Chain A
Amino acid sequence: ENVLTQSPGTLSLSPGERATLSCRASQSVIRSYLAWYQQKPGQAPRLLVYGASTRAAGTPDRFSGSGSGTDFTLTISRLEPEDFAVYYCQQYVTSPWTFGQGTKVEIK
């Protein structure tokens, strides 16, 4: 099983600041089949980025993904009020599909 570890657990920032979220895999993620999801309270997860760096339809360009192998990053260039949420990384190349434990981005 490819275990994904996200850091930090919680990120306390103000609107307008830059957020950097990390996802580290225990095994290399083949073909960079790594996705990021956003989840707000009471809602289902929403796909933001896939293939490590491709924004999904409707994802604002302030969100950017990068990385390869075992180290991946989601960057939010300038936080908007609607960006405060929990973010999960996921590898979707091998069974079992695995998620990181999540990073909560909260208002400072």
Chain B
Amino acid sequence: QVQLVESGGGVVQPGRSLRLSCAASGFMFRHYGMHWVRQAPGKGLEWVAVIWSDGSNKIYADSVKGRFTISKDNSMNTLYLQMNNLRDDDTAMYYCAGDGGSMPFDPWGQGTLVTVSS
């Protein structure tokens, strides 16, 4: 069945780095653009970054630009988010989500929690 499984979250100190992964199965991953969306505790959804299906284009939210890097390995059916220079306000559940091309976000993963704290 269609599935996205995130991993790599955890507790990290401010200024440190973390890499999230999102493993896809059950659909044509290479044909999908992929997004990262985050949700701070008790808050709403915030779009973070997108990568085109072939990896040719990447766009970031202003809040993470210059610190986060999205990448996609179509041979491994895996999406990544490299997060550098983490700040307290990056604390959130991070979801990956698929985009079949000018489409809404579907499917979604179950999320991985990132906590930035000293």
Contact = CB atoms under 8 A, between A and B. Distances in A.
Nearest to A45: B108
B105 A92 contact: yes
Interface size class of B (residues with CB under 8 A): 20 to 34
A43 B102 CA distance: 24
What's the dominant secondary structure at chain B's contact region?
A: loop
A37 B112 CA distance: 19
A84 interface: no
B35 A97 contact: yes
Contacts of A102: 44-45
Contacts, number: 56
Contacts of B47: 96-99
A92 B44 contact: no
Contacts of B59: 95-96
B102 A92 contact: yes
Given A88-B44, A88-B45, A95-B50, A44 B106 contact: no
Given A90-B105, A92-B102, A96-B59, A44 B111 contact: yes
15 contacts: A33-B104, A39-B45, A45-B105, A47-B105, A90-B45, A90-B104, A92-B105, A95-B50, A95-B59, A96-B47, A99-B45, A99-B47, A100-B44, A101-B44, A102-B44
